[in-house]
Amino acid sequence: MTGHRFKLRLNQARCNTKAVISPRTAKVYLREPTKDDQQELLALNRSSWKFHQGLVSPPTQPSEYFSLLQRSWSDSFAYFLVCRKEDDCILGIINLSQIFHGPFRSAYLGYYIGEEHARQGYMTEALQLMLVHAFTKLKLHRLEANIQPGNTASIALVKRAGFVCEGFSRRYLKIGGRWRDHERWAIIAEDWKAKAKKDRKR
């Protein structure tokens, strides 16, 4: 993509950005990032670097944010800011990568939240919004999240959402200069629909 076309799309996004899904009962909403979000998101990531260390490597430099924006326009990548409704504060991110359609209809799920916003239920709601987006709007059939065994908070998050552990991958990702083991957690559309139906009856 040329610089001119990229700048045009950023300007369009700045004018048209809106929540993907935002039920009245939710405390958060999801929206696509724009160039105007750079300062706030980088500040959040820098203030949370110890919290994220060894688990995720979010952008902390303008060049990294620019690369993120470029990836966000790809049809195989869906990147959303998690924002708080009451003040539009950016809390973290949630994304889908390597989105495949056709007979596979699958994607990888990623997310992180700023340290000051952790353990307040925000990412639980954001994940529910992303599942709705993935299984209804994108018509995907399967999502996979790869999580380090020691990341108990993240494992608890996906378990609450209905993900099941499908296996273990040794030295799966290189994070912070080290190859790290991960567990493979996944959810398919049928299980998500069944859980949603069960939850509605409660």
Which residue reads 């954001």 in tokens?
A: 126
Displacement of CA 1 from its chain's centroid (Å): 24
Structural contact between residues 32 and 94, judged by C-beta atoms closer than 8 angstroms: no
Q: What is the DSSP string of 81-149?
A: EEEETTT--EEEEEEEEEEE-TTT-EEEEEEEE-GGGTTSSHHHHHHHHHHHIIIIIS--SEEEEEE-T
pLDDT at 21: 64
pLDDT at 2: 36
Instruction: List pLDDT tens digits, range 56-96.
Output: 999 999 999 999 999 888 889 999 999 999 999 999 999 99
Asked whether the predicted pLDDT for residue 12 surpasses 50, the reply is no
Instruction: List pLDDT tens digits, range 40-52.
Output: 999 999 999 999 9
Tokens of residue 93, six digits: 């991110």
Which residue reads 């990032």 in tokens?
A: 33
Which of 16-20, 83-87, 110-114, 193-197 has the least mean pLDDT? 16-20
Instruction: List pLDDT tens digits, range 145-178.
Output: 999 999 999 999 999 999 999 999 999 999 989 9
Domain spans of the chain? 3-201
> Three-state DSSP class for 169?
strand
Tokens of residue 104, six digits: 């596979």
Give the confidence band of 8 by pLDDT, cuts at 50, 70, 90: very low
Which residue reads 């994940």 in tokens?
A: 127
> So what's the architecture of 3-201 in CATH?
3-Layer(aba) Sandwich (3.40)
pTM of the entire structure? 0.86
pLDDT at 4: 36
User: What percentage of the chain reaches a pLDDT higher than 70?
Assistant: 88
Altogether, the residues listed in the chain come to a count of: 202
